[in-house]
Amino acid sequence: MILQRILTQSRISRTSHFSSFFIKKNTFSFMPPSQRQKLIVTRTLPQASQARLDAGLEGVDIVQWKEDRAIPRAEFLKMVNGAEGILCLLTDTVDAEVLDAAGPQLKVVSTMSVGYDHVNVSELQSRKIALGITPGVLTEATADTTVLLVLAATRRLREGVDAVIQGKWGAWSPTWLLGSQLTGKTVGIVGLGRIGVAVAKRLKAFGVQKFIYQGTRRKEEVEQDIGGDIEFVEAERLFKESDVICVCCALNNETKNMFSYNAFSMMKNSVVFVNTARGGIVDQDALIQALKEGKVGSVGLDVTVPEPLPKDSELLTFPNCIVLPHIGSGTLETRTAMSEIAIDNVLCGMRGKPLPHPYDA
Ligand SMILES: O=CC(=O)O
């Protein structure tokens, strides 16, 4: 009891506040300083995971950026020096400069995200640094957000809400604010991975008649799992035939700017276009042009370039375009599961063990 109190007090007294970041030394281990490992955490984590860090990790000194904004690059480069593990977010670019600033002892980068387009994977590989991601746990939340945007866009949610707020709600009208419905429609999914499948299964319940999908290869086992009318098609056919398009793929060299002006020009004028993956998959200027020219029916985006999207972005001027602030995985359950995996990944990497959720080339 007395020992417990001494340890707690000593832990508190050794936690120092350093400009905007905290250094937390684990004081209940008698490990000599030379054997202690430095872990960088680039943001405050959801409550349960933050409590885990605050309780201390055996043999680890945690240096954490605790402001409610992304860590400035210069701070990141300073803070990372001497780290053996980095727990970062999708807002932190991890490239050769960061790895150089860290030094050769760096063993693992663990991102609290399933996407890793902010990490230079080949640099990590060439330096034999492990990369951990958080797959699986955000599938349901992100699929929910995708369906939310599909429904919001098809039923003109933004226009309806704006009309109520602006006092433009007149008498009930047989012709006002008519949207479309999903019954009998064709939905195109780009990227039939975990999230794409979860989206298809949800949308099936709305009476979608046919799914067409695009990706690196046909997935027969997944087709069977979803069931019904589902077909792997070329991108061009997906653009032309879909009533609704959901972008659920990773951002990489193949998918960057895949939604070009040409792609939007091929689509039905009534198409509902939803992106919950990464902003860079869409040529945003082309999307703005397509919206101006009435080449797309309605749009729902959870991701943009840049993020945050500036308040004066032209994208925000279209009543048929709804933009969310990248909250696809934004539930307490999901974000907690993601941060727990990110901690497990980074600890295993620092201790030289296989990561429970490694990036899989
Ligand atoms: O966008 C969210 C993620 O990649 O986890």
Number of the ligand 1 atom closest to the C-alpha atom of 326: 1
Looking at the predicted structure, is the pLDDT value of residue 4 above 90? no
Looking at the predicted structure, is the pLDDT value of residue 17 above 50? no
Residue 31 is predicted with a pLDDT of 61
Distance (angstroms) between ligand 1 centre and the Cα of 146 equals: 13
The DSSP line for 188-245 is: EEE--SHHHHHHHHHHHTTT--EEEEESSS--HHHHHHH-SSEEE--HHHHHHH-SEE
Cα distances (angstroms) measured from residue 10 to each of 4, 15, 40, 265 = 10, 9, 22, 65
Looking at the predicted structure, is the pLDDT value of residue 6 above 90? no
Q: Could you tell me if the CB of 193 is within 6 A of ligand 1?
A: no
Reduced to 3 states (helix: H, G, I; strand: E, B; else coil), residue 272 is: strand
Burial zone of 245 (CB within 10 Å; 0-12 exposed, 13-18 middle, 19+ buried): buried
How much is the ipTM here? 0.95
Q: Which long-range contacts (CB under 8 A, 24 or more apart) does 208-211 make?
A: 208/182, 208/183, 208/184, 209/183, 209/184, 209/185, 210/185, 210/186, 211/186, 211/187
Mean model confidence pLDDT for the chain: 92
Looking at the predicted structure, is the pLDDT value of residue 48 above 70? yes
Q: Could you tell me if the CB of 255 is within 6 A of ligand 1?
A: no
Residue 22 is predicted with a pLDDT of 61
Q: Is 118 labeled as catalytic in the residue annotation?
A: no
Residue 20 is predicted with a pLDDT of 54
On the CB side of 212, CA atoms within 13 Å amount to 16
Ligand 1 pocket mutation pick from 45, 119, 137, 142 by most atoms within 8 angstroms of CB? 142
Angle, alpha carbons 354-341-8 (nearest 5°): 100
Of all protein residues, the one whose alpha carbon is nearest to atom 2 of ligand 1 is 113
Burial zone of 191 (CB within 10 Å; 0-12 exposed, 13-18 middle, 19+ buried): buried
Number of the ligand 1 atom closest to the C-alpha atom of 329: 2
Interval 210-245: pLDDT, tens: 999 999 999 999 999 999 999 999 999 999 999 999
Ligand 1 pocket mutation pick from 88, 89, 90, 194 by most atoms within 8 angstroms of CB? 90
d(CA 242, CA 134): 31
Residue 3 is predicted with a pLDDT of 31
Residue 21 is predicted with a pLDDT of 57
Structural domains of the chain in order of their starting residue, each with its CATH number: 2-136+334-350 (3.40.50.720), 139-323 (3.40.50.720)
Residue 361 is predicted with a pLDDT of 64
Of all protein residues, the one whose alpha carbon is nearest to atom 5 of ligand 1 is 113
Please report, rounded to a whole number, the percentage of residues in the chain having pLDDT higher than 90: 89
Q: How confident is the model at residue 360 (pLDDT cuts 50, 70, 90)?
A: confident
Interval 265-323: pLDDT, tens: 999 999 999 999 999 999 999 999 999 999 999 999 999 999 999 999 999 999 999 99
Distance (angstroms) between ligand 1 centre and the Cα of 92 equals: 12
Interval 126-171: pLDDT, tens: 999 999 999 999 999 999 999 999 999 999 999 999 999 999 999 9
d(CA 349, CA 235): 39
Interval 99-133: pLDDT, tens: 999 999 999 999 999 999 999 999 999 999 999 99
Number of the ligand 1 atom closest to the C-alpha atom of 111: 5
Helix (H), strand (E) at residue 25:
strand 21-25
Angle between helices 139-154 and 332-350 (to 10 degrees): 140
d(CA 311, CA 224): 44
Burial annotation 258-279 (CB, 10 A radius, 16+ → b, else e): bbebebbebbbeebbbbbbbbb
Reduced to 3 states (helix: H, G, I; strand: E, B; else coil), residue 34 is: helix
Of all protein residues, the one whose alpha carbon is nearest to atom 4 of ligand 1 is 115
Q: What pTM was computed for the model?
A: 0.91
Burial zone of 170 (CB within 10 Å; 0-12 exposed, 13-18 middle, 19+ buried): exposed
Residue 46 is predicted with a pLDDT of 97
Distance (angstroms) between ligand 1 centre and the Cα of 162 equals: 29
Q: Could you tell me if the CB of 114 is within 6 A of ligand 1?
A: yes
Angle between helices 194-204 and 139-154 (to 10 degrees): 50
